[in-house]
Amino acid sequence: HVAGVDHERLTDQLRFVLEVDKLKRILRRNTLVDGSRRENDAEHSWHVALAARVFAEYAPKGTDIDRVVEMLLLHDIVEIDAGDTFVYDTELAQTQFKRESEAADRLYALLPKDQAEHARGLWEEFEARTTPEARFAKAIDRLAPMLANWHNEGGTWVTHRVSAAQVREKVAMVAEGSATLGAYATALINDAVGRGYLAP
């Protein structure tokens, strides 16, 4: 017991912090930049949150980067229940929204009500891409695996026979969030096609 503290509130917060530890065991399709093993969602979330800060100057003027970082720290938590959905898996994508909504219902609700609503709101904003913050967060989230794949001679693009057209759809999402990073991603993909990493 801690004096002067809403004990139930603190216990809920602690339970949430302990529960989201499971994100460290959710594996993504892409590998680390050195190709040594698959990346997990927690370390990915750290990497994109940091990258959002480093690339902040390429967000549209007025974008609140603190909000972008907060969104990126929270954006994958639903995958604790829903699992990772490979961005090029069209079959799984059909059930993704339902699976992730149910996961959000359980996971964010572990927090005290005010914090739960705030966190879930940020996640929904991220998924809907209705604000500059959400579009920039999504741009960074899409750019990161492109960098890793490019540095791994194609990485999961090669393993899963991804085509240039499929990646260009994701590049469009990068461009929606940041003109500069979108142009960079386009140049990267053109180079990857030239190197034979992607089916043309």
Site residues (vs its own copies, CB under 8 A): 1-5, 10, 13-14, 16-18, 20-25, 32-34, 36, 39-40, 42-43, 45-47, 49-51, 53-55, 66, 69-70, 73-74, 111, 115, 147-148, 151, 180, 183-184, 187
d(CA 177, CA 180): 9
Give CA angle at 97 (113, 115), nearest 5°.
15
In Å, what is the CA distance from 93 to each residue of 70, 88, 147? Answer: 25, 8, 23
- Please state the closest distance from residue 18 (CB atom) to its own copies, in A: 5
Q: How many residues does the chain have?
A: 200
Residue 173 or 175 with smaller CB distance to its own copies: 175
3-state secondary structure of 29: strand
91, 104 Cβ separation under 8 angstroms: no
- Please state the closest distance from residue 49 (CB atom) to its own copies, in A: 6
- Please state the closest distance from residue 167 (CB atom) to its own copies, in A: 18
Nearest CA to 53 among 138, 140, 173, 165?
Answer: 140
Residue 94 or 194 with smaller CB distance to its own copies: 194
Residue 115 or 163 with smaller CB distance to its own copies: 115
Residue 8 or 91 with smaller CB distance to its own copies: 8
